[in-house]
Amino acid sequence: MIRRTATWIATAVVLGGAMPLEALAVDEHPGRFIAANCTGCHGTQGRSTGGMPSLAGLDRSYILNAMEEFKSGTRAATIMHQHAKGYTEAQFALIAEYFAAQKAR
Ligand code: HEC
């Protein structure tokens, strides 16, 4: 399982834009495993049930931009600065792809 995850991530990173991520079934999305670190607060598949903002169905570029701003500290946050610092740009891209692909409801 871990090896399979690593293979997915490596494949997505190596192939970059050449690999149409939209073509993958949602369950098999390589961003799913990294995004799992976010769903404890932001809800299953990013659908929050209150309190936290939902991420499901947000624009990919909105999520990406927010993560970059959290990482650089230019966007105000209580907790997201710490979270954003743990990921690379490539991982942000996978996370953003994943949540953008989820249905809001
Ligand atoms: C411990 C709870 C927690 C975890 C885990 C968490 N977040 Fe957040 N997130 C928040 C809170 C709280 C906010 C509101 C900003 C703040 O106060 O930090 C937020 C805001 C955001 C926003 C801005 C939403 C908007 O509508 O503008 C994005 C995007 C986001 N988080 C993405 C993520 C991603 C991606 C992960 C996983 C890598 C993640 N978050 C993990 C608590 C969390």
Which long-range CB contacts under 8 A does 77-85 form with residues at least 24 apart?
79/41, 83/37, 83/38
Ligand 1 centre distance from Cα of residue 21 (Å)? 23
- 21, part of any domain: no
- 74, part of any domain: yes
CATH of the domain at 66: 1.10.760.10
Q: Percentage of the chain with pLDDT > 70?
A: 74
Domain carrying residue 68: 2-16+26-101
CB-ligand 1 contact for 36 (6 Å cutoff): no
- 41, part of any domain: yes
- 37, part of any domain: yes
Q: Give the number of domains in the chain.
A: 1
Ligand 1 centre distance from Cα of residue 74 (Å)? 15
Tell me the average pLDDT across 34-51. Answer: 95
The predicted pLDDT at position 3 comes to 63
Ligand 1 centre distance from Cα of residue 38 (Å)? 7
- Tell me if 97 sits within 8 A of 16, measured CB to CB: no
Tell me the average pLDDT across 21-50. Answer: 85
38-60 b/e with 16+ CB inside 10 Å = b? Answer: bbeebbebbbeeeeeebbbebeb
CA-closest residue to ligand 1 atom 25:
53
Tell me the average pLDDT across 3-17. Answer: 53
CA-closest residue to ligand 1 atom 24:
53
The tally of CA atoms less than 13 A away on the side-chain side of residue 13 is 13
Q: What is the Cα–Cα distance from 76 to 5, expressed in whole angstroms?
A: 32
User: Any idea which residue has 């598949």 for tokens?
Assistant: 45
Q: What is the pLDDT confidence band of residue 36, given thresholds at 50, 70 and 90?
A: very high
CB-ligand 1 contact for 6 (6 Å cutoff): no
Tell me the average pLDDT across 74-88. Answer: 97
